[in-house]
Amino acid sequence: MKKCANCGHLNPDSAKFCQKCGTPLTSNPHSDSRSNNDQNNAKVVRKHHGCLWLVLIMIILLLVSGLGYWLYDTGRINIGGMNTESKSPHHDSEASSLKKENERLKKTKESVANTKSTNLSSSTNSSSSATASTQTSSNDVTPLSSSQKSAISSAFTSWAAHRAQMGNMAVSDWYFDHGSAGDSDWVAMTSDGKVLVQDNGNPGSANYKIQAIGGVVFYSAKDGTTGLDSGLNSGSNADGYSTNMSFSKPISKYLLANNGVVYELKISAGTSASPTTGFTNGEGAGDGNQTFQVSQDSAAQNELKQLISQNK
């Protein structure tokens, strides 16, 4: 109710003029204050409720997100109310099949690579065998006179002396010698058959496809000589190599043949040797129980071929 300030009459709140005296009515400050407070309280309540709803919605979203991640992480997805596994048995089977196929392809690839390597190795070995066979064939034998053989042998010895000095070894051209035992031909057994070393006419050079040109022997000298050792044959045949050859170190004899091949006889450390080691005659003299092999010294092989080409 509004009280008229002029006559004290109580008028309804909606009246603007006093019903008794017609004086304009003023607003009730206490009533307005309460009204404003009520409105502010209502706004605060509504704002508070809005914040609560917002927090509640965020919590629900977080819960839903966490639940979805958990379901995904455990491999299950709820589709149309049907709970199924994201990785079906069909998927696992297909993955396993692909893995097996990859392993099979990998094994196949390795097998093919091994086969190629084997074939290449076989081809190389066949080629090497064919080359060796060609080298020792009668077509590659070069007829040489005594002077030609002497020139080739001397030049090869000089080359070998340089090689021996670099290797801190000694070398001598006294690779073969014998006493007066027997009057038949002296030969060396090689991987390509007999090689005539000394022609005594029994049975004679016509019976041998391959003939020796000369040779050298590599060793460690007792007196420390390196390179060419001219004093190795300073003793008698009975003294043999004992004059200056150390038998405690390996020894190698190189036999130069007119088929362009260098044959090598390796004598192990601790084994004694003599000029007849590796050679024998028809009477069985000498020490021919060992076989010369094609030397793996490619430099020596090339040197002999070059010397034959220059002197034939």
pLDDT score for 111? 65
Residue 37 pLDDT = 54
In terms of Cα–Cα distance, which of 307, 273, 269, 302 is closest to 290? 273
Picking from 175, 167, 172, 148, the residue whose alpha carbon sits closest to that of residue 278 is: 175
Helix or strand holding residue 129 (H, E): helix 89-135
* pLDDT < 50: residue spans in the chain: 29-33, 35, 76-87, 123-124, 126-138
Residue owning tokens 């094994």:
107
Give the Cα separation of 292 and 264 in Å (integer): 5
Strand, coil or helix: 229: coil
* Residues 229, 235, 237: CA angle, nearest 5 degrees: 110
Cβ neighbours around 225 below 10 Å, total: 20
d(CA 186, CA 177) in angstroms, rounded, equals 10
Q: Give the Cα separation of 171 and 216 in Å (integer).
A: 7
Q: Are 30 and 13 within 8 A, CB to CB?
A: no
Amino acid 82: pLDDT = 41
- What pLDDT, on the 0 to 100 scale, is given for residue 134? 41
Give the integer Cα–Cα distance in Å for 28 and 48.
30
CA 11 – CA 228 distance, rounded (Å): 150
Would you call the peptide bond into 203 cis, given omega within 30 degrees of 0 as the criterion? yes
b/e burial code for range 293-309 (CB count within 10 A of at least 16 → b): ebbebeebbebbbebbe
Contacts for 296 with CB less than 8 Å, ≥ 6 apart:
264
Residue-level pLDDT at 297: 98
How confident is the model at residue 81, as a pLDDT? 43
CA distances from 22 to 6, 11, 26, 153 (A): 9, 11, 12, 158
Identify the pLDDT of residue 5: 80
Cis status, amide bond into 29, omega within 30 of 0: no
pLDDT at 56: 86
pTM (whole model) above 0.85: no
- Say which residues have a Cβ less than 8 Å from residue 262's Cβ, sequence separation at least 6: 254, 255, 256, 294, 295, 297, 300, 301, 304
State the alpha helices, DSSP H only, in 29-88.
29-73
The one-letter amino acid code at 65 reads S
Q: How is residue 245 annotated by DSSP?
A: B
